[in-house]
């Protein structure tokens, strides 16, 4: 668990012993050292920055990464990130997978300071992975009502609803360039832990600049709000109506074989891959860092899962960093 400033792990902010991945964020920067005229060699350990909306679950994510054996520092001012990376070398982190820095809006001029620190880190040859944690306003309101803790922006004379809205607006530039955005609205603490652990392996690859998140869903539960591209598979034969296949999911080979080989499953997958192999390089060329592809069927259990898993394997063969989330599989 993250500890206080008195901890032997760090001399500022809260610290602890976690672990995680590394990715690129923000615009390219001029190569330069942390101090004028003194270049610093790039560290050979991954650096992750975790930030996002207050009450969305940042502390839980830090604890998950701590459990994955990353060295974590929470509450660090963004301006101190380059110094922290310089101070902690490979020898100091020999028992850890890397360094995780937790930051939030409590710092004055946080967004601008973060941008400057990312530029300095990139000048040092460090490309941090930025993870943005969020939740919808209704959920955040409920969480604050439960904990009875004040929102950081309430100190500026705002009410809770206005503070939540302002925070979302102020952090929009950070969210837009984050490597991974996690919406915790529908997650319990245990769900969030599982999601972070599963997605983390994706972020570590960093083979291409564009990171793809495939989400399967059931239309009867609603289209994911974070989707950039949505594909409707309800035209494919439905295994639900096959008694032997109904209790299975798209993760099971008999279901996958039925979905892809009966009807037009294989043909659809081939055309989808052809489309994405054209489209994804265009997104990369425009400097896009993240893309969420939502694939849906009626319940989100059979057809969408089968096709999404096949898509995942194909995109990984093309060296894309891809993660997958079956959002409604256990509900369908």
Q: Are residues 261 and 198 in the same domain?
A: no
Q: Left if phi > 0, otherwise alpha if psi is -120 to 50, otherwise beta: which for 75?
A: left
Q: Are residues 147 and 236 in the same domain?
A: no
Tens digit of each residue's pLDDT (9 = 90 or more) over 178-224: 888 889 998 887 777 777 776 665 555 444 557 799 999 999 999 99
185 shares a domain with 82: yes
Where does the pLDDT of residue 168 fall: very low under 50, low under 70, confident under 90, or very high at 90 and above? very high
Domain end (from 164, 185, 206): 206
Q: How many domains does the chain divide into?
A: 2
Cα separation of 67 and 77, whole Å? Answer: 23
- Report d(CA 199, CA 323) in Å as an integer: 6
Assess whether pLDDT exceeds 80 at residue 288.
no
Which domain-ending residue is among 157, 174, 206?
206
* 53 lies in the same domain as 140: yes
| Residue-number span of the structural domain to which 59 is assigned | 14-206
187: CATH: 3.40.50.300
Full-prediction pTM beyond 0.95?
Answer: no
For the beta sheet containing 70-74, the strands, ordered from the edge strand earlier in sequence to the opposite edge, are 14-19, 70-74, 99-102, 47-52, 129-134, 180-183
Task: Give tens-digit pLDDT for 266-277.
Answer: 999 999 999 999
CA–centroid distance for 164 within its chain = 21
Strand order in the sheet with 321-326: 229-232, 290-297, 211-218, 321-326
The 10s digit of each residue's pLDDT in 124-157 is: 888 888 999 999 999 998 888 888 888 888 777 7
Residue 240 banded pLDDT, cuts 50, 70, 90? very high
Of the listed ranges 54-63, 164-173, 180-189, 258-267, the least confidently predicted one is 180-189
With beta carbons less than 8 A apart as the criterion, state whether 206 and 24 touch: yes
- 245 and 100 in a common domain: no
Classify residue 86: in a domain, yes or no: yes
For residue 207, the model assigns a pLDDT of 41
136 and 192 inside one domain = yes
pLDDT of residue 325: 92
65 and 146 both lie in a single domain = yes
Q: Note whether 148 and 246 are same-domain residues.
A: no
Same structural domain, 190 and 303: no
User: C-alpha distances in angstroms, 314 versus 32, 185, 310, 318, 320?
Assistant: 38, 30, 6, 7, 9
Average pLDDT, the chain: 81
Looking at residues 300-316, what average pLDDT do you find? 95
The pLDDT value given to residue 125: 80
* Integer Cα distance of 133 and 160 in angstroms: 19
Tokens 């963004």, residue located: 78
Q: Verify that 21 and 128 share a domain, yes or no.
A: yes
In this structure, are 223 and 189 located in the same domain? no
- 111 contacts 9 by C-beta, under 8 angstroms: no
pLDDT band at 3 (very low <50, low <70, confident <90, very high): very low
């Amino acid at each position: 668990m993250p500890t206080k400033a008195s901890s032997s792990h760090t001399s500022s902010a809260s610290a602890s012993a976690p672990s995680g991945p590394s990715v690129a964020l923000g615009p390219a920067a001029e190569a330069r050292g942390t101090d004028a005229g003194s270049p610093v060699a790039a560290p050979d350990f991954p650096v992750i920055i975790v930030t996002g909306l207050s009450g969305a679950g940042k502390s839980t994510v830090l604890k998950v990464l701590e459990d994955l054996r990353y060295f974590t520092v929470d509450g660090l001012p963004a301006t101190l990130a380059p110094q922290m990376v310089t101070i902690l070398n490979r020898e100091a982190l020999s028992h850890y997978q890397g360094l995780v820095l937790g930051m939030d809006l409590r710092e004055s001029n946080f967004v601008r300071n973060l941008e400057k620190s990312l530029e300095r880190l990139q000048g040092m040859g460090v490309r941090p992975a930025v993870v943005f944690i969020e939740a919808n306003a209704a959920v955040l309101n409920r969480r604050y009502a439960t904990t009875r803790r004040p929102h950081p922006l309430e100190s500026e004379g705002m009410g809770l609803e206005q503070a939540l809205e302002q925070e979302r607006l102020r952090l929009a530039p950070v969210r837009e360039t984050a490597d991974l955005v996690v919406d915790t609205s529908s997650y319990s603490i245990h769900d969030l832990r599982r999601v972070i652990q599963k997605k983390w392996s994706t972020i570590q690859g960093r083979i291409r600049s564009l990171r793809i998140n495939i989400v399967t869903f059931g239309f009867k539960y609603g289209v994911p709000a974070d989707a950039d591209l949505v594909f409707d598979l309800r035209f494919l034969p439905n295994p639900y109506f096959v008694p032997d296949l109904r209790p299975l999911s798209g993760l099971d080979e008999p279901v996958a074989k039925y979905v892809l080989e009966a009807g037009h499953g294989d043909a659809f997958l081939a055309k989808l891959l052809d489309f994405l192999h054209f489209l994804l390089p265009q997104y990369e060329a425009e400097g896009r860092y993240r893309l969420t592809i939502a694939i849906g069927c009626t319940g989100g259990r059979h057809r969408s899962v089968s096709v999404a898993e096949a898509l995942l394997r194909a995109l990984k063969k093309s060296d894309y960093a891809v993660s997958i989330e079956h959002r409604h599989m256990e509900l369908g």
